[in-house]
Amino acid sequence: MPRPPPARMSDAAPALPGFVPGAYARLLDEYLREQGLASDAGAEPPPARLPMQQWRGRLQAAAAQLQDPLLGLRLGQRIRPAHFGVLGYLFHACGTLGGALRRLEQYQRLVYDFNPLRVEAGPQSVELVWTTQYGRPGPLVDECAISALLTLMRQIAAAPQPPLAVQFVNPWPADVAPYVQALGAPVHFAARDTRVRLPQALLAAPLAHPDPSLRAVLEGQARQMLEALPPREAIVQRVAAELARQLPDGPPTQAAVAQALGLSTRSLHRALARSGQGWRELLTRTRMELAQRYLRDPRLQLAEIAHLCGYSEQSAFSRAYRAWAGQPPAQARRAL
């Protein structure tokens, strides 16, 4: 398996929108206590939905305490259906793995309210795909999420089977062997998307404890919970579109964007906070997503891309892109 240089992107990336279940924090606290360490979460119980930014911070702090860069993999292996709440029990009650995955695609926001899942079915395999639409949470978050999903699939399947392959967007680690052992499949890094590839026949594999009556009840609960979640994408997409329009004239101010959207600055701030998104984080993510789009256009020079993304100098753009993507834009362009 070819390995590029093992330099990995730091988890100290821009702040993130989105949420994970508060049960993830309890899982981490339990693990730290087993290791004889105190959690930094304090005495207050975690909320039902933990902001992704806080989850990443807790994982970073715990990994530093334990001196364990594989903490995400280890936590994911300890997951149980209860940590996924209603959705975990709904998976358990489905008749086939394909049915469980369809519910995951439909209700993912209940357990991972961040980059959306897309299921791509082919003649020989099916792929679970997460793009970087809302950002890159970093190795600890990504590895915990994928390890947890594969662990849950093994728990609910009547005859568990390993995936065909797993890939991450994060740079290569120094040693891939622990990932192969933990995930049970070839693992690749520095990919465009996070993906889990499964045998197509696995979709029809029966689950261990199907319960159609319970499934109907749980699905009704999951639907109600999903409908009750705040519509995060509406305000985020409106602001991102306005940022893209204003960026060629320089970095937009919050006041200028609010005025263009017919909002007060305070109202815009509150709306972004409700979505789990901060102003500076959204500005950075919008710039980087535009940069990725522009890099695919061979007609645009790097200096032009820097200008379109609101940077006065190409060097500033290159530094920002490297901090976000783990590689300079020229190198990223060659890989596209």
Question: What tens digit of pLDDT does each residue of 172-201 get?
Answer: 999 999 999 999 999 999 998 999 999 998
Residues 167 and 187 in one domain: yes
User: Distance (Å, rounded) from C-alpha 304 to C-alpha 77?
Assistant: 46
User: Distance (Å, rounded) from C-alpha 267 to C-alpha 254?
Assistant: 11
Q: What percent of the chain has pLDDT over 90?
A: 53
Asked if 171 and 190 count as a contact pair (C-beta separation under 8 A), the reply is yes
In this structure, is residue 254 part of a structural domain?
A: yes
Q: Which contiguous run of DSSP H or E holds residue 64?
A: helix 52-66
Residues 169 and 286 in one domain: no
Q: What is the per-residue pLDDT for 4?
A: 39
Residues 161 and 310 in one domain: no
Residues 247 and 152 in one domain: no
Which distant-in-sequence residues (6+ apart) come within 8 Å of 234 by Cβ? none
Q: Does residue 85 carry a pLDDT above 70?
A: yes
Asked if 262 and 302 count as a contact pair (C-beta separation under 8 A), the reply is no
pTM: 0.70
Residues 239 and 216 in one domain: no
Q: Does residue 2 carry a pLDDT above 80?
A: no
Range of the domain at 69: 19-228
* Single residue among 228, 260, 282 that ends a domain in this structure: 228
Which segment of 14-28, 108-122, 144-158, 243-257 scores lowest on mean pLDDT?
14-28
In this structure, is residue 76 part of a structural domain?
A: yes
Q: Which residues of 101-132 are buried (b: 16+ CB within 10 A; e: fewer)?
A: bebbebbbbbbbbbbebebeeeeebbbbbbeb
* DSSP SS3 for 54: helix
Residues 89 and 140 in one domain: yes
The band of 24, judged by pLDDT with boundaries at 50, 70 and 90, is very high
In this structure, is residue 285 part of a structural domain?
A: yes
The band of 9, judged by pLDDT with boundaries at 50, 70 and 90, is very low
Residues 203 and 331 in one domain: no
Closest to 252 in 3D by CA, of 297, 299, 293, 309: 309
Residues 91 and 188 in one domain: yes
- Which CATH number does the domain housing residue 29 bear? 3.90.1520
Residues 39 and 176 in one domain: yes
Residues 311 and 258 in one domain: yes
Q: Does residue 237 carry a pLDDT above 50?
A: yes
* Single residue among 181, 205, 228 that ends a domain in this structure: 228
**308-332 mean pLDDT:** 89
**224-231 mean pLDDT:** 82
Q: What is the per-residue pLDDT for 144?
A: 97
**DSSP conformation class of 108:** G
User: Distance (Å, rounded) from C-alpha 130 to C-alpha 143?
Assistant: 13
Each residue's pLDDT tens digit, 26-60: 999 999 999 998 765 555 677 888 888 889 999 99
Residues 249 and 141 in one domain: no
Q: What is the per-residue pLDDT for 136?
A: 84
Q: What is the per-residue pLDDT for 7?
A: 39
Q: What is the per-residue pLDDT for 41?
A: 55
In this structure, is residue 34 part of a structural domain?
A: yes
In this structure, is residue 184 part of a structural domain?
A: yes
- Which CATH number does the domain housing residue 249 bear? 1.10.10.60
Q: Considering the chain, what is the average pLDDT of its residues?
A: 87
In this structure, is residue 3 part of a structural domain?
A: no
In this structure, is residue 277 part of a structural domain?
A: yes
Residues 32 and 118 in one domain: yes
The band of 211, judged by pLDDT with boundaries at 50, 70 and 90, is very high
* Single residue among 179, 194, 228 that ends a domain in this structure: 228
Asked if 308 and 248 count as a contact pair (C-beta separation under 8 A), the reply is yes
**300-323 mean pLDDT:** 92
In this structure, is residue 9 part of a structural domain?
A: no
Number of structural domains the chain divides into = 2
Each residue's pLDDT tens digit, 122-163: 888 999 999 887 778 999 999 999 999 999 999 998 888 899
